[in-house]
Amino acid sequence: MINLPGGMHAMTMHDGEGHALTGATAEARDLFEHALELQRCYLGDPLEAIDRTITAAPGFAMAHITRGWMNLIGTEPRGFANARQSHANAAPLAKTPRERAHLEAMGQLANCDFHTAAATLQRLSIDHPRDLLALQIGHHIDFFVGDARMMRDRIARALPEWSEDRPGYHLLPAMHAFGLEECGDYVEAERQGRRAAALHPGDSWAQHAVAHVMEMQGRLKEGLAWMRDDPELWSRDSLLAIHNWWHTALYHLDLGEIDEVLTLYDGPIFGTKPPFSMTLGDAGALLWRLMLRGVDLGDRWDVLADLWTQVEGRSLYAFNDAHAVMAYVGAGRRSKAVEVIAALEEAAAGDNSNAIFSSQVALPVARAFLAFGDGDYTGCAALLLPVIPIAHRFGGSHAQRDVLDLTLIEAAFRADDEPLARAVTAERKAAKPHSVFTEAVFQRARAAAVVPA
């Protein structure tokens, strides 16, 4: 009960899973549930929906907290500042232990302490396994820090506490599928991903998880069939549409279908020029893969680099910075790449999670991209060799980090380092034996020379 002036009382509202919602009205609760549905399905504009919720009930603690979470998971510089404001707004309002735990974790992430935020949410999900928001945000943070095991196990712990008839249940097997895939359990990952897609046709996270499985297994034709069967279903009004089209392009690229890749890049991947770090990163990673193959990209690098200069504020997530360097190197803007590397050096001297991301992975990766652009292929390879085995520490997926392996392979060829080319292409063939591209570079390395006795 909430005490009101004159001795009157108002009944505390609860969400669909029975969690108390401090400061909510019946109208605001319904608006909140709608915002959460958009969030868990990656549809429409969840932030606009949560703003309407706050307008309806300015004292609604979880609405302010959720607004903070929505600003943070995009990893935009301005999003961190917005989240800190949401934290300040929610701090005097949050009353229940669950709300206070959300508030604590959101504040930790807003201050770039990704690892502690993940741990705080881990405990929250143990205590409240039917808190789908906590599970979803925790799953994203596990991805940001490259913790594949927790991407899998955070969800596995909660699954028995749910039933298929609960709203949003489909997201659990979809998230579990992605965690399973990143842990290398491709058979179960595909089963769970297809199950989630069947439970909720158009579930873009389930679509995404199965796409990862087929990418890792080199099942290119099957991957294209999976993505091309009904793309309107998973792409319409979806916040994940660009990234899922990016996955579609990877299948075409592995098959050597360059025209198809460029058509996707100029269309659903980058046709609207989305000015967000994650989508700019996808665009750059695709162009870089094409550049490694010697494809003429016209003015695409310049257009992308111009958009990176418009990202507001200094990045607080080094994975994005490494992709910005990629774009600046591709566009021949060496001075801009050096600026970002200097920012990474400054970040590496800090004491938060971004310092770990920067010092251990992003900084040597960014320097390697710059070396490649400078034509120093030997230096590029020397920087990448020790960092690739630990590259998960700055986040991303296996599919995203594969650009590092591809760069190392091409650097080895261009440096005329035949032993290295043979070694890294053999490694790739062992990991992806069914990949068309892998077989091509494997044979290229073996045709180069005979190993000295």
Instruction: Write out pLDDT tens, residues 122-159.
Output: 999 999 999 999 999 999 999 999 999 999 999 999 99
In whole angstroms, give the CA distance from residue 424 to residue 410.
Answer: 10
Distance CA 38, CA 71 (A): 14
| Residue 449 pLDDT class (50, 70, 90 cuts) | low
Burial, 5: exposed, middle or buried (Cβ in 10 Å; 0-12, 13-18, 19+)?
exposed
What pLDDT is attached to residue 434?
87
Contact 189, 180 (CB under 8 A): yes
Q: Stretch 53-57: mean pLDDT, rounded? A: 98
Q: Is 5 a residue whose pLDDT tops 60?
A: no
> What's the rounded Cα separation, in Å, for the pair 66 and 222?
38
Percent of the chain topping pLDDT 70: 96
Q: 205 pLDDT band (50/70/90 cuts)?
A: very high
**In this model, does residue 384 exceed pLDDT 60?**
yes
Burial of 349 (0-12, 13-18, 19+ CB in 10 A): exposed
As given in the structure block, the two tokens for residue 363 are: 């900084």
β-strand partners of 13: 21
Residue 276 has pLDDT above 50, yes or no: yes
pLDDT, tens digit, 9 for 90 and up, residues 257-267: 999 999 999 99
Q: What is the pLDDT of residue 126?
A: 98
Burial class (CB in 10 A: 0-12, 13-18, 19+), 427: middle
Number of neighbouring beta carbons within 10 Å of residue 198:
12
pLDDT digits (tens, 9 = 90+) for 216-257: 999 999 999 999 999 999 999 999 999 999 999 999 999 999
Query: In the structure, what pLDDT confidence band is assigned to residue 312 with cuts at 50, 70 and 90?
Result: confident
**Predicted pLDDT at 419:** 96
Does 4 have pLDDT greater than 80? no
Looking up tokens 């389930």 gives 206
CA angle 19, 23, 25 (to 5 degrees): 85
Q: Kindly list the distances between the CA atom of residue 334 and the CA atoms of 186, 322, 358, 403, 448, in Å, as whole numbers in the listed order.
A: 40, 14, 19, 20, 32
- pLDDT band per the 50, 70, 90 thresholds, residue 313: confident
pLDDT(398) > 90 = yes
Q: Which comes out higher in pLDDT, residue 110 or 448?
A: 110
> In the predicted model, what is the mean pLDDT of the chain?
95
N-term to C-term CA, the chain: 82
Is residue 443's pLDDT more than 90? yes
pLDDT in tens, 356-370: 999 999 999 999 999
